[in-house]
Chain A
Amino acid sequence: MQENKAESKEIVREEMAYEPYTIAMGPQHPATHGVLKLDLELDGETILNCTPTVGFLHRGVEKLAENLSYAQTLPLTDRLDYIASMANNVAYSIAVEKLLGIEVPMRAKYIRTIVMEMARLTGHLLWLATHALDIGAMTVFLYCFRERENLLDMFEEICGARLTTSYTCVGGVRQDVTGHFLESLHAFTEDFPSKIAEYETLIDKNRIWLKRTQGVGVVSAEDAVSLGLTGPTLRGSGVDYDVRKHMPYDAYPYVDFEVPIGSKGDVYDRYRCRMEEMHQSNSIIRQCIEALPKGPICAPDAPDLVMPYGVQKKVAADATFASGVIKLMRDNEHYIDGDVYVSAEVPKGELGFYFVSDGRGVPYRMHIRSPSYIHIGALPFMCKGQMVADVIAIIGSVDVVLGECDR
């Protein structure tokens, strides 16, 4: 009897022999988090091969930067990872500061750390919201946006915009914080752990959630390193690498926090990693508020918005009118030439800025090492052998933003 069954199965297989077929997922698919297109080569529902196509959102930020002064490029960095634009602002600013050799005042460092962690919270909240929505848990989506709204309101208070913040400047921050901001943020941090507990109540042990995430998209530690993954995507695989710990910038050396590390490297571990990171961010924000020192918010030798470098600020201030200012802006030979690479830990991973300067007021070349681009490169590896429905969970778990990927 059993033999018979096996035989008939064989026959059916032979009769139905077919070529693997290809379907295009995206670029308008709502669960690809933007305009990502994946060409999936399928055998039934199993993925044989997956080819990502990127570049639908290419705006040429790197090329634009070659014609704009360092201050003028800053608003463009808002549009990279538009979910957590504050983090991009900070990463860009510390890169330019290293190029120009500017030391940022303590107060600005603390403020930057606060806003960077707030950006991490907004990023992770939106990640959790959309990731859960993709997998089918809609309530989490609504609850996450409730807290994200509070954070965006606070962004609006300090910089005048909710999404395209442009908050930092080279040498510090553009606006000081207010008492109302500090108090509302402190109240938020007191409340937030209970909110995280709410999300966890909904999905942490939910059997559908576990079925969709555990053992899906597994990346071993060696593979994760060789694929160039960073951020929670890498730490979910059990590799201890965090730019905040290993190459500290701003006020991170002065605060006490831990880097959560997973072990299995599947979608569930990456989810746990980000949830723990939210707790850590919350505690960093609290420490920074309590230790916020007084003092100036911008370095005295930092270049102004219009005046390209600090040493000439006085000269530029005397040359009140256009010709003088434009002349200073365009024909300057005072920047240090050379190249510099600085990275920062943004919610998605390690965001790096690479500048090649030939001494002028504009960079000769700017390169952005965007984590999303590299994470999309790892998708074929993760998707191979999985089911079509798992692709959605995997894209969600590596947390890609196409604005940053295509820049």
Chain B
Amino acid sequence: MKIKYDTRKNLAERIFLLEILKGLGLTLKRLFSKSVTIQYPKERKKLFPGFRGKHALIRDPNTKESRCVACMRCATVCPARCISIRFSKDEKTQARKVESYEIDALRCIFCGYCEEVCPVNAVVLTEEYEYSNYTREPFHFDMERLLKNWDEFVEKNKIDPEQYRNPFLRPRGRSLGELPSGKRIDVPEEWTLEGQVIWKDGRAVSAKEVVS
């Protein structure tokens, strides 16, 4: 497709600066329209679930401890290698016990792979982004700190830890068979493979509705 344009101006346009007046008219019109600026420290934008922010280890409501089983998947998949885990093994049962779980948030590139591969939904990136500091030390999260991050997140946003749903805990649009048992949590219908949305008659509808 050849682009056609004509930038020549007629006499009136040349003398009366019409195109500049048009531009000024537009900015004048915009001056009286609603402002799109968010006055940040006073107002805050609501983040969408699944925003990849501050790290946390979910405190299990039943055991009051982390769910981590030291399977090392997060440490293996991390492209920045910012997760380090030490564990000990029980001689008899071969069960693993997490000795230390450390995340260096300054190395982290926030790709969300750790929370996606975690088979028990232990590690999560919370919707929390304001944690700047003056030194490096506060960004070195150990297990205690990570659990505290979770408590702070729960308290600050007044969420029910049992009801907390994040698209990375159960990726949207994946069938149950693909997921380990720990990730088969209840999610809104829209997030499941069966309830996925398609476009019909000018609005997004569940694919389920269209069949029936």
A interface with B by C-beta (< 8 Å)? 68, 71-76, 107, 139, 143, 146, 149, 156-157, 159-161, 164, 166, 174-180, 182-183, 186, 198, 201-207, 210, 214, 258-263, 268-269, 272-273, 276, 289-294, 296-298, 304-306, 317, 320-322, 325-326, 329
Say whether B110 contacts A161, CB under 8 Å. Answer: yes
Task: Report the tally of A-B residue pairs with Cβ distances under 8 A.
Answer: 158
Chain B residues near A259: list those with CB within 8 A. 1
Given the complex of chains A and B, what is the CA–CA distance between A276 and B30 in angstroms?
24
Say whether B79 contacts A68, CB under 8 Å. Answer: yes
Chain A residues near B139: list those with CB within 8 A. none
**Nearest 10 A/B pairs, CB to CB:** A176-B173, A179-B204, A322-B72, A75-B111, A176-B172, A258-B1, A72-B79, A294-B207, A160-B50, A205-B19
Interface centre among A157, A178, A268 (most CB of B within 10 A): A178
List B21-41 residues whose CB lies under 8 Å from chain A: 22-23, 26-27, 30, 36
Q: Kindly provide the distance from the CB of A140 to the nearest chain B CB, expressed in whole angstroms.
A: 9
Specify the main secondary structure of chain A where it touches its partner. helix
Say whether A306 contacts B171, CB under 8 Å. Answer: no
Binds A, one of B97-105, B144-152, B154-162, B191-199: B191-199
Q: Of all chain A residues, which has the CB nearest B22?
A: A201
Q: Is there a chain A Cβ closer than 8 Å to B153's Cβ? A: no
Say whether A273 contacts B3, CB under 8 Å. Answer: yes
Say whether A75 contacts B1, CB under 8 Å. Answer: no
Chain B residues near A75: list those with CB within 8 A. 79, 109, 111, 113
**A-B residue pairs in contact (CB < 8 Å), sample of 21:** A75-B79, A107-B196, A156-B48, A161-B112, A164-B110, A174-B116, A175-B167, A176-B173, A176-B193, A179-B197, A182-B199, A183-B204, A205-B7, A207-B20, A260-B1, A268-B7, A289-B199, A294-B196, A297-B173, A305-B116, A325-B71
Say whether B116 contacts A179, CB under 8 Å. Answer: no
Interface residues as binary, B98-141 with A (CB distance below 8 Å gives 1, 0 otherwise): 00000000000111110011010000010000000000000000
Q: Kindly provide the distance from the CB of B107 to the nearest chain A CB, expressed in whole angstroms.
A: 13
Interface residues as binary, B172-189 with A (CB distance below 8 Å gives 1, 0 otherwise): 111100101000000000
Say whether B73 contacts A325, CB under 8 Å. Answer: yes
Say whether B3 contacts A325, CB under 8 Å. Answer: no
Q: Kindly provide the distance from the CB of B179 to the nearest chain A CB, expressed in whole angstroms.
A: 10
Chain A residues near B84: list those with CB within 8 A. none
Given the complex of chains A and B, what is the CA–CA distance between A74 and B112 in angstroms?
12
Say whether A182 contacts B197, CB under 8 Å. Answer: yes
Say whether A149 contacts B36, CB under 8 Å. Answer: yes
Q: Of all chain B residues, which has the CB nearest A159?
A: B50
Say whether B109 contacts A261, CB under 8 Å. Answer: no
Say whether A186 contacts B199, CB under 8 Å. Answer: yes
Say whether A174 contacts B79, CB under 8 Å. Answer: no
Chain B residues near A261: list those with CB within 8 A. 1-3
Q: Beyond A321-B71, A321-B72, is A160–B51 a contact (Cβ under 8 Å)?
A: yes
Q: Kindly provide the distance from the CB of B98 to the nearest chain A CB, expressed in whole angstroms.
A: 12
Partner of A296 from B22, B116, B193 at Cβ < 8 Å: B193
Chain B residues near A139: list those with CB within 8 A. 23, 27
Q: Kindly provide the distance from the CB of B1 to the nearest chain A CB, expressed in whole angstroms.
A: 4
Chain A residues near B191: list those with CB within 8 A. 176, 178
Chain A residues near B117: list those with CB within 8 A. 304-306
Q: Beyond A139-B27, A178-B190, A201-B23, is A166–B111 a contact (Cβ under 8 Å)?
A: yes
Q: Kindly provide the distance from the CB of A96 to the nearest chain B CB, expressed in whole angstroms.
A: 15
Chain A residues near B71: list those with CB within 8 A. 320-322, 325
Say whether A183 contacts B203, CB under 8 Å. Answer: yes
Q: Kindly provide the distance from the CB of B94 to the nearest chain A CB, expressed in whole angstroms.
A: 9
Interface residues as binary, B195-212 with A (CB distance below 8 Å gives 1, 0 otherwise): 011110011111100000
Given the complex of chains A and B, what is the CA–CA distance between A232 and B205 in angstroms?
37
Q: Kindly provide the distance from the CB of A4 to the nearest chain B CB, expressed in whole angstroms.
A: 37
Chain B residues near A71: list those with CB within 8 A. 77, 113
Given the complex of chains A and B, what is the CA–CA distance between A161 and B48 in angstroms?
10
Say whether A206 contacts B20, CB under 8 Å. Answer: yes
Q: Beyond A198-B26, A305-B116, is A156–B72 a contact (Cβ under 8 Å)?
A: no
